[in-house]
Structure 1
Amino acid sequence: MDVGAELLAGLLPHRVHRITETSQTGSLRREVAELTRALGVSDETAGRAALVATECGTNLVKHTDQGGEVLFRQISLDGLAGIEFLCIDRGPGMAQPARMLEDGVSTAGSPGTGLGAIRRLSEEFALYSAPGVGTAVLSRIYNRQSFERMRPPAFEWGGVGLSKPGEDVCGDGWGMIFAKDRILVLVADGLGHGPGASAAAHEAVRAFLERTDLGPEALVHKLHARLRPTRGAALAIAEIRPQARVLTYVGVGNIFGRILRPAEKTLNLVSMNGTLGYGLVKVQSFQYPWEGNPTLVMNSDGLLSNWDLGAYPGLEGRHPALVAAMAYRDNNRGTDDLTIVGLRPAKR
C-alpha cells in the first residue's frame, strides 16, 4: 500500500431524469431529496442540492424545445460525501456562455439567475456550450465548510455511469489512485449484465484499490487471479507519471482509451484481446506522451467506439465530466451498461 494515497471508486451509477415540462422538475427535486436524506448531509447542503435540481430542470424547460436530461448521483471526495449533477441538452447553445453566468443576463426573457445561481450553490462547477451544439453543466455539492478545508486537487476528474436499461445494478466500475508521484485509473466491465457482471466489476475495483504499490502490468495479473471466482471482466489500467510526462496503458478486452489535446489529433490507446478471470491471452503495456494539456478518457463498450470530438468546438479543453456528458448524449448505445471516465491536470 502506498501510504497517503487518495482513493476514488465509482460503483454507483447515475440516475437519469428526463425533463420536458415543468412538472417533471418537482419529481426530480423529490428524488434528489431522497438521496440527500440517505446520505445524511446537513440541511444546508440538502437545500442547496434541491435548488440546483430546480434550476437545472427550469433551465431545460425554458431554454430548449425538446428538454434534456439531468443525471445525478452520490459521489465521494477523499471521504466527503456529495451530490453530483450533470445537466445536458440539445438546445441552441450559447455563443458567450461565460456571459450567461452573470445575473440578469438571459436568452429567454427570464430573470437570468439560473446558471449563475447554480455556480454560486456549487462547490465545483463547469459549463460547456456552443451555438448549434447544446449545453452541458456540471455541479457538485458538498458540505461547504468541509470542502473549503480540503487542499486544492491537482487533477480534475469526472464521468458518466449508467446501468443497462431495465437493470437495477451497473455491470461496470472504475477506480482512481492519487499517489505521491503517479495516478492510476481503472475501468472494468463485468461480462454480461446484472448482478453477476456487477459483482465482477466491483471485485476488480476493490482489488485495484488494495494494491496501490503495483504497476499496471502487475496489477492486471493480480486482478486476473482475484476475478477467477467471478464471471470475469474486460478492463484497462492507465498510469500517469506527471513529472516524467508519460502515460502507461494496459488494456484487456473492450475498454477504450484515448488522450485528447486541444488542437491536436486524438491518441487512441491500445488494448489486447482477453478476459480477466477467464482467458487472459497477453498482458502488454504501451507508453504515450502525457503533455500539452492532455485529457485521458476511458470508456466501456456501452459507448459507440467511433465517437469524435470534432463536432464540439473547444470541448477537449473543458472539464472531463463535460467531455463525458457530451459523449454520452450523442454516442450512448442504450443497450448496455455504460461507463466513461476522464482525468486531466487541474487548471490553476
Structure 2
Amino acid sequence: MGGQVSVQGLHVVVVGGGFGGIAAAQELKAKQVSFTLVDMREAFHHNVAALRASVQTGFAKKTFIPYAATFGESFVQGRVERVDTQGLKEIKFTHLILCTGTDGPFPGKFNTVASHQTAVQKYDDLVKEIQAADSVLVVGGGSTGVEMAAEIKTEYPVKKVVLIHSRVGLADTELLASVRQQVKEVLLEKKVELILGEKVLNLEQLKLNVTQKNTALTTDRGTQILTDLIICCTGLKVNSAAYASSLPASSLAENGALKVNAQLQVEGFSNIFAVGDCADVREPKMAYHAGLHAAVAVSNIINSNNGKDLTSYYPGRVTMLLAMGKDDGVGQYSGFKLPRQLVALTKSQDLLLWKSWKEMEQQSP
C-alpha cells in the first residue's frame, strides 16, 4: 500500500505532509526510495500564507497544493492514530519519519481531515467575516498574531484592529530586541491598537472567527473591549497525537516533542526520525528548518542502509522573516537585522508561494 517496489529493501513512511513532510517525500522520490506520505488533508497547506488567505478573496486556492498530483500512489490520505514501532501493521515501513508539526487555532493552522475544496472554502468564509466586521480583535502577539493584525490592517485600513498580548514584548523571543521593537513600530504605523501585558478573560467561552457586532470582553486588568470579530493566534502546541500513545515516555519531551540526537533519530530508535516542529531541537519552529531536517533524515536513512557514517544537524544563528502585510516586513538573517523593504520584497509580496508550487512540480492557479 502506498508506494513503488522497495529500493534496496527500504520503505519509508512519512507521517505529516507539512513543509518537513513534503521535503522528505521529494528527497525520497528523487533518490528512488520507496515511500508512503500520510496526511489527513488532500492538499499540502502552505500555511506561511494562511493569514493572507484570511483577508483576500480567492487567495486561499493558491495556498493548497494537491498531494496526489505530485506523489501519486505514494500518498495516502488519513489520520495516523498509532505508531507500531516495528513497522509490521497497516502501512509497513523499514524507517519512519515523523513530521507531525504543531497544531493551533484556525486560521494560522488548518489541521483537520478535509477535502481540498473544503479547506479552501474555510478560508474564503473567514474573509467574508472579516469584511463584515468594523472592528477586529487579534488575541496573541507572537509571530502569527502580529502578522495577522498587519494583514487585516493592510487589506482593510479603515477597520479598527486591536491586538492584545499577555507580554509586553511582541513576536518571537528568539528575535533580536531591535527586530521585535521594529515589529511594534510597523503595527503602530499601520494604526493597529496595542494592548500589551494583559490577557482576555474566558477566551475559551468566546465565539471565534464569527462576526458578532459589539461583543464585549474584559482583560485580567479590567480593560473593557468592544469588538465585532475575535481571531485567536495563541495556543500553538506540538501535534503529538500520532505517536504519544505508542512511543515510550523516554522518547518524549515535556511539551510532547520528540527527543532526538544530532542525527535526528528519535531517542531509543535507530529507524525513527523526527523532522520539523515535532523534533525537540532548540531553534524557532520554521518551514526553512523543517526542510533542512528532512534532508538530514533522508540522507541518514540511506547512509545507514549503505553502512556509511550518518550526517549531523546543528542549529545555526536565527533567521526569521515576518510578513507585515503585503507591503512591509521585518526580520533577521543569521542573527543580523534586515531592512524592511528587503523583507517585503523577498517574502511579504508572494509569501514564498512560488517555492512550494515549484517543489511540488505543479502550476499555481
Q: TM-score range by the shorter chain?
A: under 0.3
Compare relative contact order (CA 8 Å, sep 6+) and give the higher one, 1 or 2: 2
Structure-2-length-normalised TM-score: 0.26
